Structures are given as C-alpha cells and as structure tokens.
Amino acid sequence: MFTVMYRSFILLLTFLFYTAYHLSRKPISIVKSELHRNCSTVIRPADLNITNNATWCDWAPFDQDNYQALFGVLDNCFLVAYAIGMFFSGIFGERLPLRYYLSVGMLSSGLFTSLFGLGFYWNIHSLGYYAFIQVMNGLVQTTGWPAVVACVGNWFGKGKRGFIMGVWNSHTSVGNILGSLIAGVFVSSAWGMSFIVPGIIIASTGILCFFFLVESDVFVCQNDQDSGEAEPLLQNHAVNTSNGAISTEPQEVVEDHTEAISFCGALSIPGVVEFSLCLLFAKLVSYTFLYWLPLYISNVAHFEAKEAGDMSTLFDVGGIMGGIMAGLVSDYTGGRATTCCIMLIAAAPMLFLYNSIGQRNLGTTIGMLLVCGGLVNGPYALITTAVSADLGTHESLRGNSRALSTVTAIIDGTGSIGAALGPLLAGLISPTGWNNVFYMLITADILACLVRNTTFSFLTSL
C-alpha cells in the first residue's frame, strides 16, 4: 500500500523536477529571433537618432552579420559544458545523497538562468558574459538527469519500465512546451523575463525537492513487508526447486555492494558503449531541433518570434507520443534496440519531407511537426530512460545497485556530445541554406541506427 503510494508520488515529483530543468533550457531558442530581427519591418520610435536602419532594433553583440555563428557559440557553451560535466555528475550522484544533489543543482540552475535574463535589465552587451552564464548553467544542469533516473530506477522494476518511463519521460517535451510558451509571453516586450521566470520556477522546484524527495523504496518496502502488504522491489520471488515443487522459502539475496561502480566498470557492462554511440547521433538531431526549430520556422515561414515559438511546441507534442509509443512497443516486443532502429530509419525520410513540403500550409506543417517529433524523440527518450535503467541494473552487476547513476551519466554524457555538435553544425551550415542543415540531420539519424548495430557486431566478435 505505502509502496504504491510512494511510487506514484516519486513519479510525479521527479516529473516536475525534470520538467523544470528543460523549461529553463528552452528560452534561448525563443529569444534568438528577438536578439537579431528584421529591423526594416519594425516601427522605429521617432525620438531615436539611429544611423544604421538595418540593425537598430537588434541586441548587440548579435547585430552582426555572423549572428548565427554567435548563437552557435552560446548553444555550445552550454552543451559542451553539459557534455563534459555529465561524465562527472554520475560519479557524484552515486556518492552523494540525491535529495541534496538535486536541490543544489536546481537552485543553481535557477540562479544562472535568471542571470542571463538580467543582462537585459543591466544592459549588458558582452558576448563573454552570456557565454560564461551558459557554461555555468550547462555544468549545474548535469545534476538533473542521472539523479532523477536513479530515483525512478530505484522504485520500479523492469516489467513495465518501458511504458512507465515512456510516459514519465514526457517531462522533456512538457518542459520544452512550457518553456516556449512562457518565454513567448515576454520575448517581444522584455526578453529578460523569458529567462527570469523559468529561473524562479526551477529554483522553486529545488526547494520542493529538498523537503519531499524520498530517494529509494528501502524503508517504505520494509514497512509494507512488515505488514504483509508488499515485497521489496528487488527481492527474489518464489522459484521452482530441482524436483519441480514451488519453494516459498526466502531466496538468497545478493548482498548490495557498498562501493559504487567505477567508470571503467560501467563501460564494461554489455550494451553501454553501443547505446551511448547511438544516442550521440540521436541527440544531435533532437537538440538541433530544440535550439534551431523556432528560428527555422521564423525564417522559412516568416512567423514572428512568439508565433514561431508556439508552432515549434508541436514537435515536442509529437515527442511525447513518440516516447510513450516507443516504451510501449519495446515492453511488448522485448526489443528495445529494434524499436530504436525502426524509428530512426523512419525518421530520415520524414525529415526530408518536412523540409520539402512542411511549410506549404498550416495543416501540413502541424502534421509533419507531430510525426517528426515522435520519430526523432521516441528513440532518444527510450535510450535515456528504459535502456539506461536496464543497463544500470544489468545481471552482470550481480546485485550492485549503485551503478544506475554512473551508467545513465555515461550514456547521456556521450549523447550530449552529439547535442553539442548538432547546434554548432547548424550554426555553421545554416548560412549556406536550410536544406544542408536537414541533410546533416538525416545523415545523423541513419548513423545512429548503423553505429549501434555495427558496434554491437564488433564487440560481440571480440
């Protein structure tokens, strides 16, 4: 009884936590089109003595012709710091109380997100300032994913893990949607608030975490066991004996290791390397859409910043459905890798079609964004949740329950390298035409599928 209640509570609580993490990452993609605008279409106040009509409404230093490269710098300051920090975050997460670790991480994220927005009110025009804020925010945001996956993994077994985590992982898309909508409210009037409000929200969830998070089910399950209502999550059930009878005697429980797994030990778990490389390319595609889709819609469909941001949320709505579908199918078939590969292969032609015909009319745009979002984010969601949890509790660990955070960090950290490369490449390639950006994304999707299968075949032949 208590276990069921606490599991539901932990799912809800960790859902809110990571929704806040992603909510605070989204504003930069919405604000880009406001920092560099088509000033010829903006009514200029009569009392302004401006000599450069082309850039008078831009926010320096993003009023230069290389503004896309500068936006790429900001994206990569966050993403490179995030990728590097993630490899260390899992190690810390295994050794520190998750409640304190998450609380400090969310409070720090709130601080640095708000500092970016305060640059508007402090009239700061230094690229170095915004780049530094992005680096620091990238580092502190690494506290989130390994910790929340470890919490959920501690509470749920493998039976329905794909479906449960598929539903739960919708926090990523929900956070992106809310971040877009909140940032869109302020972007045209005072873009600083597009960062300050999300910063306050994630800091508030950090306080919530400190007071209410329960890290594992050990004490709750023991309470239920004493009352005869439930069994601990990892306890062995009755099994057949050698003469075919059912034994109800307590089975030998493998002693939980008190020492957390090493980095190299986590790498040696079968499947970690393959899925890490697969996620590298899958996350490259997902994060390119995260950071550049509103600007693409604004440039190609000629929407204003707010309308482009609102339209981009459809990609995340599709991502919610794709993540749930991927988890449900992988639970039913038992083939997590197969599910990922099929969705990745299907995503390639859909991306091509979206770039070719996706802006013809509103109905086509909505439909293509939903389909592309589902196919792109489905494999990404499955790998970072159910697959990571499966590998972090792999049978080769022989009962060591202190590997989940490290394994999750390795997989997501490798994927974050792709997340850093995608927006960087988009910033460098987009001046040559958006078609080339989509060719890059299609190639990455195909490589995500190929590298997983090729690496698996290579490692099994050793």
Tell me the DSSP string of 355-417. HHHTTSSHHHHHHHHHHHHHHHHHHHHHIIIIIHHHHHT-GGGTT--S-HHHHHHHHHHHHHH
Whether the Cβ atoms of residue 93 and residue 76 lie closer than 8 Å to each other: no
Rounded to the nearest 5°, which phi and psi values hold at 247?
-95, 130
Q: Please state, in angstroms and rounded to a whole number, the distance separating the CA atoms of residues 47 and 439.
A: 46
pTM of the model: 0.75
pLDDT digits (tens, 9 = 90+) for 380-422: 888 887 787 777 666 655 555 566 777 878 888 888 899 888 9
Does residue 47 or residue 75 have the better pLDDT?
A: 75
Sign of CA dihedral 175, 392, 332, 230: negative
The stretch 121-143 carries a mean pLDDT of: 95
Report the 10 Å Cβ neighbour count for 121. 11
Angle, alpha carbons 219-225-228 (nearest 5°): 150
Q: If you average pLDDT over residues 167-182, what whole number do you get?
A: 89
**Domains annotated on the chain, with CATH:** 10-33+64-231+260-461 (1.20.1250.20)
Helix (H, G, I), strand (E, B) or coil at 188: coil
Q: For residue 115, which phi and psi values (nearest 5 degrees)? A: -65, -35
Partners of 247 in beta bridges: 239
282 touches 341 (CB < 8 A):
no
The mean pLDDT value for 128-148 works out to 94
What is the per-residue pLDDT for 427?
81
**Local structure of 199: helix, strand or coil:** helix
Q: What confidence score (pLDDT) does residue 235 get?
A: 38
23 close to 180: Cβ distance less than 8 angstroms = no
pLDDT in tens, 249-276: 434 444 444 466 666 777 777 778 888 8
* pLDDT-derived band at 228, boundaries 50, 70, 90: very low
Q: In this prediction, what percent of the chain has a pLDDT beyond 70? A: 79
Arithmetic mean of pLDDT, 149-154: 78
3-state secondary structure of 38: coil
Between 116 and 365, the more confident residue is: 116
Sign of the four-CA dihedral 280, 282, 286, 292: positive
How far apart are the C-alpha atoms of 80 and 63, rounded to whole Å? 25
Structural contact between residues 31 and 194, judged by C-beta atoms closer than 8 angstroms? yes
Output the pLDDT for position 350: 94
Residue of higher predicted confidence among 225 and 62: 62
In this model, does residue 49 exceed pLDDT 80?
no
Main-chain dihedrals φ then ψ at residue 240, nearest 5 degrees: -70, 135
- Report the pLDDT averaged over residues 107-113: 97
DSSP 255-273: PPPSSPPPHHHHHTSTTHH
> What does the pLDDT look like over 273-331, one tens digit per residue?
888 899 999 999 998 998 888 888 888 877 887 888 888 889 999 999 998 999 888 88
Summarised one tens digit per residue, pLDDT across range 204-221 is 999 999 999 987 665 445
Neighbours of 363 (CB within 10 A): 8
Q: What percent of the chain has pLDDT over 90?
A: 32
For 239, list phi and psi in degrees, rounded to 5. Answer: -135, 165
The pLDDT score that the predictor gives to residue 265 is 74
